[in-house]
Amino acid sequence: DAGITQSPRYKITETGRQVTLMCHQTWSHSYMFWYRQDLGHGLRLIYYSAAADITDKGEVPDGYVVSRSKTENFPLTLESATRSQTSVYFCASRVKTVSGELFFGEGSRLTVL
């Protein structure tokens, strides 16, 4: 199906482990984003990408790594997960326009024990 999909939808891991959250979009949108949603903080931007091989930091990038070798994929890696990274993670994409309507995936709920 067309759209933006995230996997896994749910993940439980332990402190110190590496975790990768996958994001795939079928629209060929130039821009892709990773947000985390936490109570009291709303949605905070982690990283974003304007095109393949172009990434940039958002508001809360520490502890995360991204890559974008293909336009349609934008994985987010937690190299050594910490409890503070327990959150719901949303991937989003949009076309290359100034008025940025984002299209979000359904989210990945990550619990770090």
Partner 1 sequence: DQQVKQNSPSLSVQEGRISILNCDYTNSMFDYFLWYKKYPAEGPTFLISISSIKDKNEDGRFTVFLNKSAKHLSLHIVPSQPGDSAVYFCAASALGDTDKLIFGTGTRLQVFP
Interface residues toward partner 1, by CB under 8 A? 4, 31, 33, 35, 40-45, 48, 50, 56, 58-59, 90, 92, 98-107
Question: What residue type is 61 in one-letter code?
Answer: P
CA angle 36, 76, 22 (to 5 degrees): 100
Nearest CB to partner 1, comparing residues 105 and 112 = 105
Residue 15 · residue 82 · CB < 8 Å: yes
Give 7-64 as a DSSP string. Answer: E-SEEEE-TT--EEEEEEESS--SEEEEEEEETTTEEEEEEEEEETTEEEE-S--TTE
Q: Residue 112 CB, nearest distance to partner 1 (Å)?
A: 20
We find the least distance from the C-beta atom of residue 80 to partner 1, in angstroms, to be 26
User: Closer to partner 1 at the Cβ: 16 or 103?
Assistant: 103
Least Å from the CB of residue 48 to partner 1? 6
Nearer to partner 1, 12 or 80 (CB): 12
The torsion of the CA quartet 92, 33, 107, 79, rounded to 10 degrees, works out to 160
Q: Toward partner 1, which CB reaches closer, 28 or 99?
A: 99
Minimum Å distance from CB 111 to partner 1?
15
